[in-house]
């Protein structure tokens, strides 16, 4: 029997915050310095550093933890992981300065430039640029404003609490919209584990059919919601092909949520 939706769970990165654009622009700004110094093609350097970073990141013993919590290699290029949780976060904190330097130095080397000192300079510049370049989608505040009085809003985000809170601190208008902010690194398990969705529901004393999850990632947001028995909305802004994970709804623009919620709630009222 259809019931009224009482809460909306939102993913953060690339659902409300345009993280991929921030990363891209931070690379562009940092690689420009290498172009000025050595005349290298900035795009080629970006590709080389991304490749080196992905390879190096996957070699660390904390890599399985980053996958379970949901922290990608490019977050490692600017996150500090000053998290209170002991264990893997401490090792990440100790390792990331070396990781960043190696990724940038290796990227430069791929383009024939052997300059460790400059690699370190770029490695330190990238986090500064990333912090200076937060992007929020144009429809983010619009939808949050239309929903905030009618629904409880939760952020359910994968990542390091320190880094996710840094992202919220540099886009400070977002935080006040949310009744709760659930961060996988603090909870101990990340999406798609249904436990984090069950925890989010428990914060509001809601049943799975009283919430709906909105996110851009089929493998985490949508799969996890499906496993937890929560309806899901896949925000597919860039018209990506789907996979075997089937969302309840698919949208291109966050404003389409209004139509979906109205439909669900209309059906509930007719019962």
Q: Where along the sequence are the contacts to Mg ion (CB under 5 A)?
A: 11, 13-14, 216-217
23 Cβ contact list (under 8 Å, min separation 6)? 74, 130
Work out how close the CB of 14 gets to Mg ion at its nearest, in angstroms, rounded to a whole number: 4
Three-state secondary structure of 160-193: CHHHHHHHHHHCCCCHHHCCEEEEHHHHCCCCCC
| Nearer to Mg ion among residue 17 and residue 53 (C-beta) | 17
Work out how close the CB of 23 gets to Mg ion at its nearest, in angstroms, rounded to a whole number: 13
| Nearer to Mg ion among residue 14 and residue 46 (C-beta) | 14
CB atoms near residue 67 (< 10 Å):
13
Spatial contact of 53 and 77, defined as CB atoms under 8 Å apart = yes
Residue found by looking up tokens 């933890």 in the block: 65
| Nearer to Mg ion among residue 129 and residue 216 (C-beta) | 216
| Nearer to Mg ion among residue 123 and residue 143 (C-beta) | 143
Work out how close the CB of 217 gets to Mg ion at its nearest, in angstroms, rounded to a whole number: 5
Work out how close the CB of 158 gets to Mg ion at its nearest, in angstroms, rounded to a whole number: 8
Calpha distance 112→271 (Å, rounded): 69
| Nearer to Mg ion among residue 14 and residue 102 (C-beta) | 14
Work out how close the CB of 267 gets to Mg ion at its nearest, in angstroms, rounded to a whole number: 28
Alpha helices in the chain (DSSP H): 19-38, 42-57, 63-69, 73-76, 88-110, 116-132, 140-147, 161-170, 184-187, 194-204, 223-228, 257-270
């Amino acid at each position: 029997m259809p019931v009224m939706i009482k809460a909306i769970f939102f993913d953060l990165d690339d659902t409300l915050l345009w993280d991929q654009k921030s990363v891209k622009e931070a690379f562009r700004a940092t690689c420009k310095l290498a172009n000025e110094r050595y005349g290298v093609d900035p795009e080629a350097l970006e590709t080389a550093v991304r490749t080196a970073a992905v390879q190096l990141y996957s070699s660390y013993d904390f890599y399985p933890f980053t996958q379970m919590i949901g922290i990608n290699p490019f977050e490692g290029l600017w996150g500090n992981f000053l998290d209170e949780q002991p264990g893997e976060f401490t090792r990440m904190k100790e390792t990331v300065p070396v990781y960043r330097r190696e990724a940038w130095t290796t990227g430069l080397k791929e383009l024939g430039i052997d300059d460790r000192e400059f690699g370190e300079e770029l490695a330190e510049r990238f986090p500064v640029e990333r912090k200076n370049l937060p992007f929020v989608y144009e429809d983010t505040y619009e939808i949050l404003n239309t929903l905030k009085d009618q629904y409880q809003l939760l952020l359910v985000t994968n990542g390091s609490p320190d880094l996710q809170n840094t992202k919220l601190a540099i886009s400070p208008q977002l935080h006040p919209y949310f009744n709760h902010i659930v961060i996988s690194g603090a909870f101990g398990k990340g999406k798609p584990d249904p436990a984090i969705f069950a925890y989010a529901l428990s914060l509001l004393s809601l049943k799975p059919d009283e919430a709906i999850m909105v996110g851009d990632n089929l493998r985490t947001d949508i799969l996890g919601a499906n496993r937890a028995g929560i309806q899901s909305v896949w925000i597919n802004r860039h018209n990506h092909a789907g996979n075997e994970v089937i969302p309840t709804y698919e949208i291109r623009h966050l404003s389409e949520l209004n139509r979906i919620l109205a439909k669900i709630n209309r059906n509930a009222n007719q019962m």
